[in-house]
Amino acid sequence: MRLSRFFLPILKENPKEAEIVSHRLMLRAGMMRQEAAGIYAWLPLGFRVLKKIEQIVREEQDRAGALELLMPTLQLADLWRESGRYDAYGPEMLRILDRHKRELLYGPTNEEMITEIFRSYVKSYKNLPLNLYHIQWKFRDEQRPRFGVMRGREFLMKDAYSFDLDEAGARRSYNKMFVAYLRTFARMGLKAIPMRAETGPIGGDLSHEFIVLAETGESGVFCDKDVLDLPIPPDDVDYDGDLNPIIKQWTSLYAATEDVHDAARFESEVPAEKRVNTRGIEVGQIFYFGTKYSDSMKALVAGPDGVDVPIHGGSYGVGVSRLVGAIIEACHDDAGIKWPEAVAPFRAAILNLKQGDAAVDGACEKLYRELTAKGVDVLYDDTDQRAGAKFAAADLIGIPWQILVGPKGLADGKVEVKRRSDGSRENMSPADVVAKLA
Ligand code: ATP
Ligand code: MG
Ligand code: MG
Ligand code: MG
């Protein structure tokens, strides 16, 4: 992508409505724009990041055996009356009337709809286990939308729903999602710690929130320091094998949100020097809720003995759009964003430090062509801005590799490669740059 043809409305000033760094940087970097309180348009740079995050979530859901579908954003109120949640959900639900005065709502979550789909088709235990997910916009009329995409009203969520014959099966499904979440967040360069959590309006008796530690987080959390350094399951983890050892490793050390925190246990289990009490951002949550929805909505399957029983369910959410902000909270410095490579909008930027100089222009064009041909996502800053402004923009938008091309270096056949994550720099020939990044 040539910057001269891209749409990157960078702001010079710090927007005053932004209270936290991720919100400020997303606005300054021209990633998104607020259209109404808690409702955002994703501009091209932000949209690229959102798509990369979404794709990692998708790949790890697929790997764990979940199946993607797509449910609509609008749902019938009557479906929610079946579960009893239409009245219970309260003012966070956006309720809509159509021209026929039918009551609809913009889905804040999808337990009811997926249960309705499931019960229409699945009648036998032989079709279990089943885990269906989608990545779809949700609406919650939050009391206090704030911090940009971190607490929006319209936001993108991955939500998966598992169906099993009994509790033992449901726990296996839960464990698969637990492991998939460990892998998902680690691939994005995040440390997201599973912490025991309250089950809240979804109901049920087993839940973990995945929390990224950050001072600006909205949840208070308590954990053993050692939980921050546990190993992430490898990409060939066997989801059909026994996942219990992984779950055990991650759940034996103390880690809890403030809602379920047990001070006495914390102090007896965790030595004083290992006690972490801080704040965090909830980037995902997993629930096992048993027969809560299958009882009320009659989602029954015939067991091996031919008797109909309600299925045991779980649901598993990831805040896809919130993650964009959470990653910035975890990865930035005074100059701007430092994207982990896996989610960066572009992997590399070519900075032409003397636009109009035939040798420099030629070298940049050649690098751009070669990197693009090798499939590297590269942003070529071919604008007529001065060098200082190009450095600042590349740092602000957080491109992991910056290739600085100027007349002095070129005279020696070299360009400079700067790594955004640690600021390290290296001189090398353009051919070596291509070999390094391709
Ligand atoms: P929170 O405690 O932050 O209000 P929640 O517990 O209500 O979140 P869940 O119902 O668990 O949210 O939804 C799954 C995921 O969706 C959350 O873990 C979070 O990452 C994301 N999410 C929830 N609400 C919002 C929101 N208003 N804006 C952006 N992401 C959200
Ligand atoms: Mg909430
Ligand atoms: Mg929560
Ligand atoms: Mg939650």
Band of pLDDT at residue 335, cut at 50, 70 and 90: very high
Cβ atoms of 132 and 139 within 8 Å: the answer is: no
- Residue 200 reports pLDDT greater than 70: no
- Residue 202 reports pLDDT greater than 60: no
Q: Whose CA is nearest to atom 15 of ligand 1?
A: 319
Q: What is the mean pLDDT of the chain?
A: 97
Cβ atoms of 410 and 363 within 8 Å: the answer is: yes
Distance 108 CA to ligand 2 centre (A): 10
Cβ atoms of 320 and 311 within 8 Å: the answer is: no
pLDDT of residue 199: 77
pLDDT of residue 198: 87
Backbone angles phi, psi at 393, to 5 degrees: -65, -45
Per DSSP, what are the bridge partners of residue 134? 159
What would the pLDDT profile of 258-268 be if each residue is shown by its tens digit? Answer: 999 999 999 99
Structure-token pair, residue 95: 């309720």
Distance 287 CA to ligand 4 centre (A): 9
- Residue 344 reports pLDDT greater than 90: yes
Q: Whose CA is nearest to atom 23 of ligand 1?
A: 319
Q: What is the mean pLDDT of residues 283-288?
A: 97
Q: Whose CA is nearest to atom 2 of ligand 1?
A: 282
- Residue 301 reports pLDDT greater than 80: yes
pLDDT of residue 260: 94
Band of pLDDT at residue 203, cut at 50, 70 and 90: low
Band of pLDDT at residue 204, cut at 50, 70 and 90: low
The answer to whether the complex's ipTM is over 0.90 is yes
What would the pLDDT profile of 49-59 be if each residue is shown by its tens digit? Answer: 999 999 999 99
Band of pLDDT at residue 205, cut at 50, 70 and 90: low
Band of pLDDT at residue 28, cut at 50, 70 and 90: very high
Report d(CA 375, CA 33) in Å as an integer: 29
Q: What is the mean pLDDT of residues 186-207?
A: 85
What would the pLDDT profile of 352-374 be if each residue is shown by its tens digit? Answer: 999 999 999 999 999 999 999 99
Among candidates 259, 143, 240, 139, which has minimal Cα distance to 199? 259
Residue 38 Cβ < 6 Å to ligand 1? no
Whole-model pTM? 0.97
